[in-house]
Amino acid sequence: MKLKHFLLIGILTLGSFVNAQEVKKNAIEVTGVAEMEIEPDQIIFSIGIKADNKNDLADNEKKLFETLKNAGVKNEDIKFKSMYQNIYSKTAKFTKNYQFTAGSKSNLSKIFEDLNQKWVSSLNISEVKNTKIADFRKTVKINALKAAKEKADYLLESMGKKAGSPLEIVEIEDYTSDMIMPAAYKGRASNVQLEMADAPVDYSFDNIENIKLKYSIKARYEIL
């Protein structure tokens, strides 16, 4: 009985192996690629303010909120990040760091111009975003899978065959650029005090590079 049992297992295993070999032999593997450029609708800034004492720091904090409000930034889009006190410094003993989000309706040029103040220690672009980027990522991935199927179809058509059901689908993330800076701002990402250019600089959303998405999907299809 044991011998028959082992023989049966061996036959089943051999049959599975043969089937696996047949699937591999009668399949085509292709890679589909899709790309998309998205206009950003949000910029996340990091900003630091400084003062010699707590009272001045509080005043500068009020100036910061007022300046951002006048530029179209809402209070709920301003987040406190950290505070630091340097007891050994003769000047700027107190510093406070914030992060704020500027939407497409915000006046970026006004933000840069109005924050060119001695009490501003730093102003950096942390991230460029699109609020619907998750939906765009799905679209690009779907397009990549469609491209893979289309490639399999025309390759097999040249041999008088056609693609059947997908046997395997593997997602490959190639490239996502969501850390794009405005072209006019490159090289000036970090500074103690912003220096105004001799000529007016356009810091508007129109001058920001698009976010680039690129995805690849590797798929294996049955050959019919």
From the list 159, 134, 141, the residue with the least C-alpha distance to 219 is: 141
Q: For the chain, where do the domains classified as CATH 3.30.110.170 start and end?
A: 26-40+131-178+207-224
What pLDDT, on a 0 to 100 scale, did the predictor assign at position 201?
A: 58
**What percent of the chain stands above pLDDT 70?**
73
Q: For the chain, where do the domains classified as CATH 3.30.70.60 start and end?
A: 42-129
**Model confidence band, residue 18 (pLDDT cutoffs 50, 70, 90):** very low
Q: Match domain 26-40+131-178+207-224 to its CATH number in 3.30.110.170, 3.30.1330.60, 2.60.120.40, 3.40.50.720.
A: 3.30.110.170
What pLDDT, on a 0 to 100 scale, did the predictor assign at position 197?
A: 45
51: its two tokens:
């003062």
**Topology given in CATH for the domain delimited by 42-129:** Alpha-Beta Plaits (3.30.70)
What average pLDDT does the segment 171-197 reach? 51
**What percent of the chain stands above pLDDT 90?**
51
What pLDDT, on a 0 to 100 scale, did the predictor assign at position 79?
A: 95
What average pLDDT does the segment 80-92 reach? 80
Higher pLDDT, 174 or 133: 133
Q: What is the pLDDT of residues 36-83, one digit of tens each?
A: 999 899 999 999 999 988 899 999 999 999 999 999 899 999 999 999
Residue 31 forms beta bridges with which residues? 218
What average pLDDT does the segment 175-201 reach? 47
In order, the DSSP letters of the chain are -HHHHHHHHHHHHHHHHHHHHHHHHTEEEEEEEEEEEE---EEEEEEEEEESSHHHHHHHHHHHHHHHHHTT--GGGEEEEEEEE-TT-SS--EEEEEEEEEETTS-HHHHHHHT-STTEEEEEEEEEE-TTHHHHHHHHHHHHHHHHHHHHHHHHHTTT--EEEEEEEEEEEEEEE----BGGGTT-S--SSPPPPSS----SGGGBPPEEEEEEEEEEEEE-
What sign does the dihedral 70-71-73-78 (CA atoms) show? negative
Assess contact for 123 and 194: CB atoms under 8 A: yes
pTM over 0.85: no
Check pLDDT > 50 for residue 3: no
Q: Is the backbone of residue 140 left (phi > 0), alpha (psi -120 to 50) or beta?
A: alpha
183: its two tokens:
């072209």
**Model confidence band, residue 206 (pLDDT cutoffs 50, 70, 90):** confident
